[in-house]
Structure 1
């Protein structure tokens, strides 16, 4: 059975616990971000067991999946709601990140109809040039939200190193804290000052004051144990909680064309090689299933190219046969695509068991889910 994504819930739980404990010492709480795993309830449960009491996701469909699984802890929607979905946002989310007063007014009306108070976190533009209110407009937004019924200002948030190249260094984070302090001159202290995501961890772990920041939204660091800016492993974290497994459907020596030739293969370039025989392996995995460029293959195996349904590899070894499996490491983008792919099955393992590592002998693997245990439901 392949392709599949193997998920080590124990390692996710341990990564979460490490980060929750380390950041608590800095006065910062962790919101566990589940968007890369499409709101997978088992992964969210592992985050809860690791110590997070707040979850966050960018899509209301993922939030609905978590709620349907019985998870009742507060969940924040970290992408500004679409006007067409405000009723679902109010129903399922404790708060949402917002940048448009028109949308906030819609949330207000929906919350009044539902007899609820919905939390609003204003996202401020700090140089990433994605979503965010211009800093000079922030005070006006705060005043407008304060006068709307059915909503309450829960906090201020910022993004760093998502779309742009602005790193969350001391200068940028101090400027963000100064904005919050200016707002709090005429408003009650904010409950949530969300300073960013996994890219903020080098800043958060460094010595020195953290200003008004009391929350970070962590996804990649918990799931993959890597720094999203540098791609480097983060000390103390597992980097192998996820493995993508693909099955070999062809393994042959093929003669190259007369001279190098390059072909475009759906956002990738495949080098077909020089004259002579090379060992080529074809996997039943393609760009529909994952970001092939974000996969790490075993030693001695390299990617040649990929199309929608095939990935072509070359290998220095000749021992591959149809039916063999190749286990790959995944980047954040590759993980996100694989978790969203209809034909990629999810297989879970709990603490005390383990899947093979990259480069271990290829063999058949279990075809059923293993030991999925959700965290206790909390209010």
Structure 2
């Protein structure tokens, strides 16, 4: 049945182990594998159990709830909502936090569940997503959190590149190290985890510029696609084709390339920008914008190119005549496409 996303188990396992090895070689012993792209699909459990992973992370507590059978750490990556505090304590071993009211609520719930809950306090080093701003007076915040009996500050962390596109470098990461030193010296405590970001920090591997205090990264795309995310470059020694996507042709006809009449906005409120190429062979596939951003698909056959589409249709131009109705077209995908396709109930998932 189609549409279908194919996940190569062996290549994914190889990437996991190789990234863990690369991280250790760069003096980062602690890696959390970010699994949010799988949308809680429980097929990932057997893959993780086949590796030496010690930690997984997801942005949604609903997904971590499905992974309770895994005998490894489960980290909630998105700072918690007040409305989900009970489930955070129940299903997450550790969570990322930046708001005192939420941490206080976590403390109360942890007490009710007779648990000590670990947290990473997030610091914004300039990318301007979540976290206490690094130039702010954050020590009073830390003091209040340290007074909470059922909360343990396991460490501190930051997120880079995802919103503001801030590239990690020695200067940026040393801001986190300075925060670490200020907290440890100010309160006579030891922070176990200094989390230096995500797959964008992998670009610093093998350059001897990652501060030695950074001992943890939260990695998704570098494992899944074998790419660092600062410059979107492929990492040597990793698989870059763990995922393939397939969709079925439902129409194959020779038609004009340009609409015949007055053009207005399309179904997504956009004015189509369509090139007049004369008569062309057009393929319609049974996949659409409801399932994926079409521009994030790349046909493996170089004779095919994406023209556009609508909610439920993808339209391709074919420069040869080998395709017919019922044929399957295979695509390479990127990380955003994986996230969308795995979240679509209309796309079949095949772990091979």
> Which residue in the other structure is 2:21 paired with?
21
Who is 2:311 aligned against? 308
The residue aligned with 2:86 is 87
Q: Matched residues in 1 for 2:96 and 2:269: separation? A: 33
Aligned 8 A contact 1:12 1:47 in 2:
no
Q: Is the CA contact 2:199–2:222 (under 8 Å) kept in the aligned structure 1?
A: yes
1:274 corresponds in structure 2 to 276
| Distance in 1, Cα, partners of 2:144 & 2:46 | 37
Structure-1 separation of matches of 2:133 and 2:266: 41
- What aligned pairs does 1:128-207 form with structure 2 within 5 A after superposition? 128-135=127-134, 136-185=136-185, 186-207=187-208
User: Gaps spanning 5+ residues in structure 2: where?
Assistant: none
Offset, 1:144: 1.1
1:312 is paired with a residue of what secondary structure? strand
Contact 1:156–1:180 at 8 Å: present in 2 too?
A: yes
More divergent stretch after superposition (225-234 vs 311-320): 225-234
SS in structure 1 at match of 2:197 = coil
Give the Cα–Cα distance (whole angstroms) in 2 for the partners of residues 103 and 216 of structure 1.
24
TM-score, structure 2 as length reference: 0.93
- Counterpart of 1:115 in structure 2 is 114
SS at match of 2:40: coil
2: CA distance between counterparts of 1:50 and 1:210?
Answer: 27
Q: Secondary structure at the match of 1:14?
A: helix
- Residue 251 of structure 1 corresponds to 252
- Mapped contact 2:199–2:229 kept (Cα < 8 A): yes
Segments of 5+ residues of structure 1 without an aligned counterpart are: 350-379
Shift in alpha-carbon separation, 1:124–1:44, aligned structure 2, 3 A: farther
**1: distance between equivalents of 2:269 and 2:299?**
19
Mapped to 1, the partners of 2:58 and 2:285 lie a distance apart of 32
SS of corresponding position for 1:41: coil
In structure 2, relative to structure 1, the CA distance for the partners of 1:25 and 1:275 (3 Å cut) is: closer
Do the aligned partners of 1:6 and 1:346 also contact (CA within 8 Å) in 2?
Answer: yes
How much has 1:209 moved relative to structure 2? Answer: 4.9
Change (3 A) 1:44 1:231: farther
CA distance in 1, matches of 2:255, 2:306: 15
Secondary structure of 1:205's aligned partner: coil
Structure 1 residues 5-84: aligned runs within 5 Å = 5-28=5-28, 29-67=30-68, 70-84=69-83
CA change 1:209–1:157 in 2 (3 A) is closer
State the SS of the aligned residue for 1:274.
coil
The verdict on how the C-alpha distance between 1:38 and 1:137 changes in structure 2, with shifts beyond 3 A counting, is farther
- How many residue pairs get aligned? The number is 347
> Pick from 289, 292, 302: which aligns with 1:290?
292
Q: CA deviation at 1:138?
A: 2.8
C-alpha displacement at 1:3, in angstroms?
0.5
Instruction: Tell me the C-alpha RMSD between the 2 structures.
Output: 1.9
Q: Mean alpha-carbon deviation: is it higher for 36-45 or for 213-222?
A: 36-45
Q: Deviations over 1:83-133 (max 9, x none)?
A: 111111101111100010000000000000000000111010111111111
Q: Normalization by structure 1: what TM-score?
A: 0.87
Structure-2 residue corresponding to 1:353: none
Stretch moving more, 250-259 or 116-125: 250-259
The alpha-carbon distance between structure 1 residues 338 and 269, as it changes in their structure 2 partners (threshold 3 A), is farther
Aligned mates of 1:269, 1:294 — CA distance in 2:
20
Cα distance in structure 2, aligned partners of 1:275 and 1:218: 43
* Matches of 1:15 and 1:45, distance apart in 2: 15
